[in-house]
Amino acid sequence: MPTLLKIFIIFIVVTSSGCQLLTDIHSTFYDTTDDSVKVPAKFKIQQLYPLLEDSTVYSSMSVKQQKIICEQLKSAYKIQKDWQTAWLMAYSVNQNFTCLSLVDTLNILTKIQQQQPPASPLYWLNIHQINLLNKLSYLQSKNKKFKRKNKLLKENLNKTTLQLQDIVSKIQALKIIETTINQKTQ
Protein backbone atom coordinates (compact mmCIF):
# COMPACT_ATOMS: atom_id res chain seq x y z
CA MET A 1 0.00 0.00 0.00
CA PRO A 2 2.75 2.56 0.79
CA THR A 3 4.27 1.90 -2.67
CA LEU A 4 0.94 2.55 -4.34
CA LEU A 5 0.55 5.78 -2.38
CA LYS A 6 4.02 6.96 -3.47
CA ILE A 7 3.23 6.19 -7.12
CA PHE A 8 -0.08 8.04 -6.85
CA ILE A 9 1.57 11.13 -5.33
CA ILE A 10 4.31 11.11 -8.00
CA PHE A 11 1.63 10.78 -10.68
CA ILE A 12 -0.29 13.78 -9.29
CA VAL A 13 2.87 15.91 -9.05
CA VAL A 14 4.03 15.02 -12.56
CA THR A 15 0.65 15.61 -14.20
CA SER A 16 0.02 18.89 -12.40
CA SER A 17 3.46 20.23 -13.29
CA GLY A 18 2.95 18.99 -16.85
CA CYS A 19 -0.22 21.04 -17.14
CA GLN A 20 1.64 24.06 -15.80
CA LEU A 21 4.33 23.57 -18.45
CA LEU A 22 1.69 23.42 -21.16
CA THR A 23 0.06 26.63 -20.00
CA ASP A 24 3.49 28.32 -20.02
CA ILE A 25 4.08 27.14 -23.59
CA HIS A 26 0.60 28.28 -24.60
CA SER A 27 1.17 31.73 -23.14
CA THR A 28 4.49 32.14 -25.00
CA PHE A 29 2.85 31.29 -28.35
CA TYR A 30 0.16 33.90 -27.91
CA ASP A 31 2.18 36.56 -26.12
CA THR A 32 1.38 39.84 -27.83
CA THR A 33 3.86 41.90 -25.79
CA ASP A 34 6.85 40.49 -27.69
CA ASP A 35 8.71 43.45 -29.22
CA SER A 36 10.55 41.29 -31.79
CA VAL A 37 7.39 40.91 -33.88
CA LYS A 38 7.27 44.15 -35.81
CA VAL A 39 4.19 43.46 -37.91
CA PRO A 40 0.87 43.82 -36.09
CA ALA A 41 -1.65 41.00 -36.61
CA LYS A 42 -4.21 43.25 -38.33
CA PHE A 43 -1.60 44.39 -40.84
CA LYS A 44 -0.70 40.79 -41.71
CA ILE A 45 -4.31 39.83 -42.33
CA GLN A 46 -4.87 42.94 -44.43
CA GLN A 47 -1.82 42.01 -46.51
CA LEU A 48 -2.85 38.40 -46.95
CA TYR A 49 -6.33 38.84 -48.32
CA PRO A 50 -5.43 40.82 -51.50
CA LEU A 51 -2.44 38.54 -51.99
CA LEU A 52 -4.64 35.45 -51.90
CA GLU A 53 -7.19 37.10 -54.17
CA ASP A 54 -4.48 37.91 -56.73
CA SER A 55 -3.12 34.38 -56.41
CA THR A 56 -6.55 32.93 -57.15
CA VAL A 57 -6.97 35.15 -60.21
CA TYR A 58 -3.47 34.42 -61.55
CA SER A 59 -3.64 30.68 -61.00
CA SER A 60 -6.95 30.44 -62.87
CA MET A 61 -5.48 32.11 -65.99
CA SER A 62 -4.27 30.22 -69.05
CA VAL A 63 -0.63 29.19 -69.30
CA LYS A 64 0.05 31.91 -71.87
CA GLN A 65 -1.48 34.59 -69.63
CA GLN A 66 0.47 33.27 -66.65
CA LYS A 67 3.72 33.61 -68.61
CA ILE A 68 2.90 37.23 -69.36
CA ILE A 69 2.04 37.89 -65.70
CA CYS A 70 5.22 36.07 -64.69
CA GLU A 71 7.37 38.36 -66.84
CA GLN A 72 5.60 41.41 -65.41
CA LEU A 73 6.15 40.15 -61.87
CA LYS A 74 9.82 39.43 -62.60
CA SER A 75 10.28 42.97 -63.92
CA ALA A 76 8.54 44.43 -60.88
CA TYR A 77 10.65 42.28 -58.56
CA LYS A 78 13.88 43.46 -60.21
CA ILE A 79 12.87 47.06 -59.54
CA GLN A 80 11.60 46.54 -55.99
CA LYS A 81 12.30 43.28 -54.22
CA ASP A 82 9.16 43.08 -52.11
CA TRP A 83 8.00 39.77 -50.67
CA GLN A 84 4.45 40.05 -52.07
CA THR A 85 5.71 40.01 -55.66
CA ALA A 86 8.08 37.18 -54.87
CA TRP A 87 5.24 35.24 -53.22
CA LEU A 88 3.03 35.67 -56.29
CA MET A 89 5.85 34.45 -58.55
CA ALA A 90 6.58 31.44 -56.37
CA TYR A 91 3.02 30.33 -55.69
CA SER A 92 0.56 31.77 -58.20
CA VAL A 93 2.10 31.61 -61.66
CA ASN A 94 4.67 28.89 -61.14
CA GLN A 95 2.80 25.68 -61.89
CA ASN A 96 5.31 23.08 -63.11
CA PHE A 97 8.06 25.69 -62.61
CA THR A 98 7.08 27.61 -65.74
CA CYS A 99 7.86 30.98 -64.16
CA LEU A 100 10.84 30.17 -61.96
CA SER A 101 13.12 27.18 -61.88
CA LEU A 102 13.14 24.96 -58.82
CA VAL A 103 16.36 26.57 -57.57
CA ASP A 104 15.03 30.11 -58.13
CA THR A 105 11.78 29.22 -56.36
CA LEU A 106 13.73 27.88 -53.38
CA ASN A 107 15.88 31.02 -53.30
CA ILE A 108 12.88 33.35 -53.44
CA LEU A 109 10.99 31.42 -50.77
CA THR A 110 14.07 31.49 -48.55
CA LYS A 111 14.28 35.28 -48.97
CA ILE A 112 10.57 35.60 -48.16
CA GLN A 113 11.09 33.38 -45.15
CA GLN A 114 13.82 35.66 -43.81
CA GLN A 115 11.50 38.66 -44.07
CA GLN A 116 8.54 37.06 -42.28
CA PRO A 117 8.24 36.94 -38.50
CA PRO A 118 7.55 33.49 -37.04
CA ALA A 119 4.06 34.64 -35.99
CA SER A 120 3.11 35.29 -39.61
CA PRO A 121 0.68 32.81 -41.21
CA LEU A 122 2.93 32.72 -44.27
CA TYR A 123 5.94 31.72 -42.21
CA TRP A 124 4.74 28.18 -41.67
CA LEU A 125 3.37 27.85 -45.19
CA ASN A 126 6.76 28.85 -46.56
CA ILE A 127 8.58 26.44 -44.27
CA HIS A 128 6.49 23.55 -45.53
CA GLN A 129 6.83 24.65 -49.15
CA ILE A 130 10.61 24.99 -48.80
CA ASN A 131 10.79 21.52 -47.25
CA LEU A 132 8.71 20.07 -50.08
CA LEU A 133 10.82 21.79 -52.72
CA ASN A 134 14.02 20.58 -51.06
CA LYS A 135 12.65 17.03 -51.13
CA LEU A 136 11.65 17.50 -54.77
CA SER A 137 15.13 18.77 -55.58
CA TYR A 138 16.67 15.78 -53.81
CA LEU A 139 14.39 13.36 -55.65
CA GLN A 140 15.15 15.01 -58.98
CA SER A 141 18.88 14.72 -58.38
CA LYS A 142 18.44 11.05 -57.42
CA ASN A 143 16.32 10.55 -60.54
CA LYS A 144 19.07 12.08 -62.72
CA LYS A 145 21.64 9.87 -61.02
CA PHE A 146 19.53 6.76 -61.66
CA LYS A 147 18.94 7.78 -65.28
CA ARG A 148 22.69 8.19 -65.84
CA LYS A 149 23.32 4.84 -64.18
CA ASN A 150 20.56 3.24 -66.26
CA LYS A 151 22.05 4.71 -69.43
CA LEU A 152 25.48 3.32 -68.56
CA LEU A 153 23.99 -0.08 -67.79
CA LYS A 154 22.12 -0.09 -71.12
CA GLU A 155 25.32 0.83 -72.96
CA ASN A 156 27.17 -1.95 -71.16
CA LEU A 157 24.35 -4.36 -71.98
CA ASN A 158 24.50 -3.40 -75.66
CA LYS A 159 28.28 -3.84 -75.72
CA THR A 160 28.00 -7.19 -73.98
CA THR A 161 25.25 -8.31 -76.37
CA LEU A 162 27.44 -7.40 -79.35
CA GLN A 163 30.38 -9.26 -77.81
CA LEU A 164 28.17 -12.28 -77.16
CA GLN A 165 26.92 -12.25 -80.75
CA ASP A 166 30.52 -12.03 -81.96
CA ILE A 167 31.54 -14.96 -79.75
CA VAL A 168 28.53 -17.03 -80.92
CA SER A 169 29.39 -16.36 -84.56
CA LYS A 170 33.03 -17.37 -83.93
CA ILE A 171 31.89 -20.56 -82.19
CA GLN A 172 29.65 -21.37 -85.15
CA ALA A 173 32.57 -20.74 -87.53
CA LEU A 174 34.77 -23.05 -85.44
CA LYS A 175 32.07 -25.75 -85.52
CA ILE A 176 31.93 -25.49 -89.30
CA ILE A 177 35.71 -25.74 -89.51
CA GLU A 178 35.66 -28.70 -87.14
CA THR A 179 33.03 -30.56 -89.21
CA THR A 180 34.94 -29.93 -92.43
CA ILE A 181 38.16 -31.19 -90.81
CA ASN A 182 36.33 -34.28 -89.55
CA GLN A 183 34.90 -34.92 -93.03
CA LYS A 184 38.33 -34.67 -94.64
CA THR A 185 39.93 -37.01 -92.13
CA GLN A 186 37.39 -39.75 -92.66
pLDDT in tens, 144-183: 999 999 999 999 999 999 999 999 999 999 999 989 988 8
Residue 45's pLDDT is what? 65
Q: Is the residue at 15 inside a domain?
A: no
Q: Is the residue at 131 inside a domain?
A: yes
Q: Is the residue at 28 inside a domain?
A: no
Please give the residue that has the higher pLDDT: either 74 or 28: 74
User: Cβ-count burial of 90 within 10 angstroms (0-12 exposed, 13-18 middle, 19+ buried)?
Assistant: buried
CA distance 3 to 17: 21
Q: Is the residue at 128 inside a domain?
A: yes
Q: Is the residue at 18 inside a domain?
A: no
Residue span of the structural domain in which 131 resides:
41-142
Residue 35's pLDDT is what? 41
Q: Among 13-27, 79-93, 142-156, 170-184, name the one with the lowest average pLDDT.
A: 13-27
Of 106, 117, 105, 122, the C-alpha closest to 51 is: 122
Q: Stretch 3-28: mean pLDDT, rounded?
A: 50
Residue 80's pLDDT is what? 87
Q: What is the radius of gyration, based on Cα positions, of the chain?
A: 33
CB 67 within 8 A of CB 98: yes
Q: Is the residue at 69 inside a domain?
A: yes
Report whether pLDDT(43) > 50. no
Residue 12's pLDDT is what? 59
CB 87 within 8 A of CB 111: no
Q: Among 22-26, 112-116, 151-155, name the one with the lowest average pLDDT.
A: 22-26
Q: How many domains does the chain have?
A: 1
Q: Is the residue at 151 inside a domain?
A: no
Residue 170's pLDDT is what? 94
Residue 10's pLDDT is what? 63
Q: Is the residue at 83 inside a domain?
A: yes
Residue 29's pLDDT is what? 38
What is the residue-averaged pLDDT of the chain?
78
pTM of the complete model: 0.59
